[in-house]
Each structure stands twice: as structure tokens, then as C-alpha cells.
């Protein structure tokens, strides 16, 4: 009886120790950032003009996970996105804001966003595979693109140089990870995360030149940003 009790104690102890060693993990990944402009507009209900500029790009992610139990946990994820700026979106926006006709756009810079997202997780296991789902909320800092536009206004040539701007706002989203265990402490992972926020760039500087006259008005640019980051990488468990 005593031997059986000791055996049960040892099994429980070592099982608990093994689980404790795997409570914490780090997910490092990189991949594609896909702009979901139409979805962003549907969620907010705003005019489609507010989701015209951001295109696809690159995504980088460092995530940490802590398991409260085998299935329930908490995650914190640092994401960096660099997305192209759609020329057609710049044209549409500039045509409305600046009333420019026959517009061409040039010197278009990328969008850049850095966000910290946290939230609860649910994980299930099938052999060496694990599937995690998560709800996310957090804060993001976005650097908007600078660009130049040329066209005509009242039958006169006009050019506009729009400077870059920075915006901060809350963000929300959800995601999932499929991981395959190579060893007890190393896994291959594929992540899919959707995040949405609103970027409002106030007092953006512009240099407007028309008929030999140069003006420097300011404008406000509002964009609804929705991106799906599909990344792959490694998960280190401790």
C-alpha cells in the first residue's frame, strides 16, 4: 500500500513538473499581411473611402503564451506590419480631399504599424498537433504614408505633397495557431491573426503648388485598417 502511494505520488509529481515546464512558450514568426479593406468597412459601417489606402505587406510577430491549465491560457503578442500603400486608394482619397482631377500619384511610402495585443487562449491537442484559438485586444501605433499627387484643379496644374503622420489607437482581433511538436520543447507553427483599428492622422502637413503659388494647409486623414497576418515560425516551450 505504501509502495503504491509512493508510486502515485511520484507520477503526479513528475507529471506536474513536466506540465509546469511547458506552461510558458515563445512564438517567433514572419509572413504575409493581407489587407481586408472591405471587411474593415463592414465592421465600422463607415464610407469605403476610409479603407482605400492600405494594401498587402509583411508581418512579423513575437508572442508569449502562459498556460493556466492544459487548455486555458493567456497570450501577449508584439506585432510589426509593413504594408504597401495602394496607388488607387491614394488617387481616390486625394480626388475627394483636394478636388484634383486627372490625378497621378508618386513617391508613395508604406504603412508601418507596431501593436501589442493580449487576451485569453483556448488550446486543444491531437497527438503532436496543437490548435490554439485566441481573442485579442491592445494598442497600436501607426505611421501613415507620405505621397505626392499631381493633377488639375479649375483647369490649372496642381501638385500636392502630403507628409507622413503618426496615430495611436486601440485595436481588437482574434487569431489561431496550429503547431506541430518536433521535440518536447520545440514546435513548428502556422499563425493566422486578424486585427482591426482606426487610424486618424490629424493636422497632416501638405505642400500645395498651383499657378506659381505655394500653400501649406493641413488635413485630417482617417483610415479603417483591417489586416490578416498569416505567419510561420517556431515555438519554444519552457
Each residue's pLDDT tens digit, 119-143: 999 999 999 999 999 999 999 999 9
Instruction: In whole angstroms, give the CA distance from residue 30 to residue 161.
Output: 33
- pTM over 0.75? The answer is yes
Contact 81/61 with Cβ under 8 angstroms? no
Per-position b or e across 168-185, b if 16+ CB within 10 A of its CB? eeebebbbebebebeeee
Each residue's pLDDT tens digit, 80-108: 999 998 888 888 777 777 777 777 888 88
Q: Domains in the chain, please, with CATH?
A: 24-237 (2.40.160.20)
CA atoms within 13 A on the CB side of 95: 13
Each residue's pLDDT tens digit, 64-76: 999 999 999 999 9
Backbone angles phi, psi at 228, to 5 degrees: -110, 115
Each residue's pLDDT tens digit, 149-159: 888 877 778 88
Distant-in-sequence, close-in-space partners of 208: CB < 8 Å, separation ≥ 6: 98, 158, 159, 160, 214, 215, 216, 217
Amino acid at each position: 500500500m505504501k509502495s503504491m502511494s509512493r508510486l502515485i505520488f511520484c507520477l503526479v509529481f513528475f507529471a506536474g513538473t513536466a506540465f509546469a515546464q511547458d506552461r510558458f512558450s515563445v512564438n517567433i514568426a514572419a509572413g504575409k499581411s493581407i489587407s481586408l479593406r472591405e471587411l474593415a468597412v463592414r465592421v465600422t459601417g463607415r464610407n469605403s473611402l476610409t479603407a482605400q489606402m492600405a494594401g498587402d505587406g509583411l508581418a512579423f510577430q513575437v508572442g508569449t503564451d502562459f498556460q493556466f491549465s492544459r487548455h486555458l491560457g493567456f497570450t501577449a503578442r508584439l506585432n510589426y506590419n509593413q504594408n504597401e500603400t495602394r496607388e488607387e486608394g491614394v488617387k481616390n482619397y486625394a480626388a475627394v480631399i483636394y478636388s484634383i482631377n486627372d490625378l497621378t500619384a508618386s513617391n508613395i511610402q508604406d504603412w508601418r504599424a507596431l501593436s501589442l495585443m493580449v487576451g485569453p487562449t483556448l488550446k486543444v491537442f491531437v497527438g503532436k498537433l496543437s490548435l490554439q484559438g485566441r481573442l485579442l485586444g491592445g494598442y497600436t501605433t501607426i505611421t501613415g504614408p507620405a505621397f505626392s499627387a499631381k493633377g488639375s484643379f479649375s483647369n490649372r496644374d496642381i501638385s500636392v505633397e502630403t507628409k507622413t503622420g503618426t496615430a495611436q489607437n486601440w485595436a481588437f482581433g482574434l487569431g489561431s495557431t496550429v503547431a506541430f511538436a518536433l521535440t518536447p520543447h520545440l514546435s513548428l507553427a502556422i499563425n493566422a491573426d486578424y486585427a482591426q483599428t482606426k487610424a486618424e492622422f490629424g493636422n497632416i502637413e501638405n505642400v500645395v503648388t498651383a499657378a506659381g503659388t505655394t500653400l501649406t494647409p493641413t488635413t485630417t486623414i482617417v483610415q479603417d485598417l483591417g489586416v490578416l497576418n498569416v505567419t510561420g515560425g517556431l515555438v519554444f516551450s519552457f
